[in-house]
Amino acid sequence: MEAESDTRGTLPFGFIDIFLLSTISGIVIYWLFFRKPKEEVQEFKSFQMPNDFVQKETSFISKMKKTGRNVVVFYGSQTGTGEEFANRLAKDTQRYGMKGMAADLEEFNMSELARLVEIPGPLAVFCMATYGEGDPTDNAQDFYDWLQEDDVDLSGVKFAVFALGNKTYEHYNAMGKFVDKRLEELHAERVYELGLGDDDANLEEDFISWKEGFWPAVCEHFGVEPTGEESSIRQYELVFPENGADEKVFTGEMARFKSYENQKPLFDNKNPFLAVVLVNRKTNKGEDRHFMHIELDITNSKLRYDAGDHVAVYPTNSTTLVEELGKLLNADLDVVFSLNNLDEESSKKHPFPCPTTYRTAFLHYLDITHPPRTNVLYELAQYAEEPHEQEFLRKMASSSPEGKKQYLNWVVEARRHIVAILQDLTSVRPPADHLCELLPRLQPRYYSIASSSKVHPTSIHICGVQVKYVSLTGRTNHGVATSWLRSRQADMSPAHTVPMFVRKSQFRLPYKSSNSIIMVGPGAGLAPFLGFIQERAWQLEQGKKVGKTVLYFGCRRKLTDFIYEEELERFRLQGALTQLHVAFSRDQDHKVYVQHLLKENKDDVWNLLKDGAHLYVCGDAKNMARDVQAAITEIVAECGSMEHAHAVDYVKKLMTKGRYSSDVWS
């Protein structure tokens, strides 16, 4: 034991020394041979907002206080007309010594409405459009929900409402009427009576007539007087980018710069998807009209749709028309410019994406084919070199009975667009930038989707007919969207694309496939029913119990206008289409329409309805939809042994329960 002890004592290092030496050696070896070179850490740069980024102000009260405004004109708008009227009213306030602002209902916190009394001499005006079956527009949905659910006290709030609608629809101006009534129920004070605008007649005249009484009422209520200032008030200033074409230049994008080159979901109205045209074929044999079947590729778009939804398409104006407009204005269409809002506090910095070129603005952003409204004529008058043309324009823009009649005859009924007006009034030559400020935005066009996603998950189908007619001036006018869509062909290099997005609809097949359905859709009104029938056929293939599927279709002549004849016959033979009734209106001496066939089959229609069938109508609202509803009411009264009033109530209840649905247009 002692010898062993002596031996340990003679070692030069102890155990701990050996451990430490090994550890240090390992670290040195790792450092020299195995360590990865240190990665260079990039210098951190603080995030900077882009120059054009503006944080949105959601408090309209704060904004009014900050900018000294006392009038706010809210708008609920689907196609842009409500927004246009709101902007005109806000602009008019300057002529009465007031200061107004137009406001999008979805951009501001409307629960602040009661705080409007904090503003000296305040007034809230609402331009409210009705969409679909008496529904609010997309941007007014939250406001509508708030009004329904909240019982806020609006005492002291002064208001007025102008409603935009169409008498051919069942729920004429429902939103405007609701807002007007509800604000009064919440103790707000009405300054002037509800205005009802009818787009089926003359919406512009209705608006002008309402303004004739509105402004005097405002003057009396607030103790203000017209300033007498009737000169043109510009909202935007023309700016030429310092770097010209080197700056970012919009080429048709709806919002995000280069969004068409670098597509990113989610796709919506401000970020449309560029769908490649897969199919574009004519579906009728006649030469007088052009029906088309178009298929759009939505692969990798993450877009989802159901049968009955709508596809929105952003069209492009005619290049021929744009070139002619450029010549009339003596403008270089390829000049890069920007229109900047003179009101630096406005959330709307430009009337459309800027900077851009005049060519792009007229092709993609501005509506150059719709007859201009009276405010545009008023502004154009200042550029007339001939006194009689200036007087003519000012008279049409006035509120006099003679002026209104002239505007109706010369502009509306003659369907004169801005190019035609400049062609016929040869001394009127406005600056291109002012015209860009005056013309309304080109809106997307909506089409009922003609396919089912169960059968076609990667494509959306459109069934349409080209709009083309000769106006009272002898000019041939072409529908913007349908003419442009006709030109978008398949198998092109580079591929033809269509900017589009999907809008959800309440036009839906029954939840239970066992429910029977009756579909009424003449002409292009067949579109959603193609999707319905495809889906019913798919349900049959899945082994589901499917109720009766009955279609009432109408067209002019069997030989030339029976679109989708082969497809419908195939569905009938397969059993997916139980009954097919077609009204050929011009194949005999007397006209035969779908409502006549419904009455001929009244017992079958009544039995189906009595057994829980769902009824769908798609197409023209002005005549067909009304006539079909009248026929259904007549069938219910006769076959159900009811008085007419009870039959009307029965049909109304079908609508309320979602068993009578309409997808109509005027």
Place of tokens 């019913």: 536
Q: Is 319 annotated as a binding residue?
A: no
Q: Is 417 annotated as a binding residue?
A: no
Q: Is 9 annotated as a binding residue?
A: no
Alpha carbons 39 and 367: distance in angstroms, whole number? 56
Alpha carbons 194 and 74: distance in angstroms, whole number? 15
Q: Is 448 annotated as a binding residue?
A: yes
Residue 526: C-alpha distances to residues 463, 503, 644 (Å): 8, 19, 30
Q: Is 629 annotated as a binding residue?
A: no
Q: Is 218 annotated as a binding residue?
A: no
309 labelled catalytic: no
Q: Is 171 annotated as a binding residue?
A: yes
Which residue out of 104, 198, 398, 665 is catalytically annotated? Answer: 665
Q: Is 665 annotated as a binding residue?
A: yes
**What are the tokens at 300?**
């990798």
Q: Is 508 annotated as a binding residue?
A: no
Which residue out of 92, 297, 561, 663 is catalytically annotated? Answer: 663
Alpha carbons 630 and 599: distance in angstroms, whole number? 10
Which residue out of 259, 338, 448, 661 is catalytically annotated? Answer: 448
Phi then psi dihedrals of residue 653, to 5 deg: -65, -35
Alpha carbons 165 and 173: distance in angstroms, whole number? 5
Q: Is 357 annotated as a binding residue?
A: no
Q: Is 480 annotated as a binding residue?
A: yes
665 labelled catalytic: yes
Alpha carbons 636 and 642: distance in angstroms, whole number? 7
Alpha carbons 293 and 311: distance in angstroms, whole number? 14
Q: Which of 369, 513, 488, 379 is nearest to 435 (CA)?
A: 379
Burial of 41 (0-12, 13-18, 19+ CB in 10 A): exposed
Q: Is 289 annotated as a binding residue?
A: yes
Cis-peptide, bond into residue 216, ω within 30° of zero: no
Which residue out of 127, 505, 618, 661 is catalytically annotated? Answer: 618
Q: Is 447 annotated as a binding residue?
A: yes
Q: Is 338 annotated as a binding residue?
A: no
Q: Is 341 annotated as a binding residue?
A: no
Q: Is 152 annotated as a binding residue?
A: no
Q: Is 446 annotated as a binding residue?
A: yes
Element (H, E) at 663: strand 660-665
Q: Is 164 annotated as a binding residue?
A: yes
Max CA separation in the chain (angstroms): 136
Half-sphere exposure of 103 (CA within 13 A, CB side): 29
Phi then psi dihedrals of residue 337, to 5 deg: -145, 170
Element (H, E) at 551: strand 549-555
Q: Is 521 annotated as a binding residue?
A: no
Q: Is 616 annotated as a binding residue?
A: no
155 labelled catalytic: no
Q: Is 173 annotated as a binding residue?
A: yes
Element (H, E) at 532: helix 527-541
CB within 8 Å of 18: residues ≥ 6 apart: none
491 labelled catalytic: no
Instruction: Count Cβ atoms below 10 Å from residue 531 Cβ, excluding itself.
Output: 28
Q: Is 305 annotated as a binding residue?
A: no
Alpha carbons 553 and 563: distance in angstroms, whole number? 10
Binding residues for FAD: 415, 445-448, 463-465, 469, 479-482, 665
Residues making up the binding site for NADP(+): 289, 585-586, 591-595, 627
- Which parts are annotated binding residues for FMN? 77-82, 129-132, 164-173, 199
Q: Would you list which residues are annotated within the binding site? A: 77-82, 129-132, 164-173, 199, 289, 415, 445-448, 463-465, 469, 479-482, 585-586, 591-595, 627, 665
Question: What are the catalytic residues?
Answer: 448, 618, 663, 665
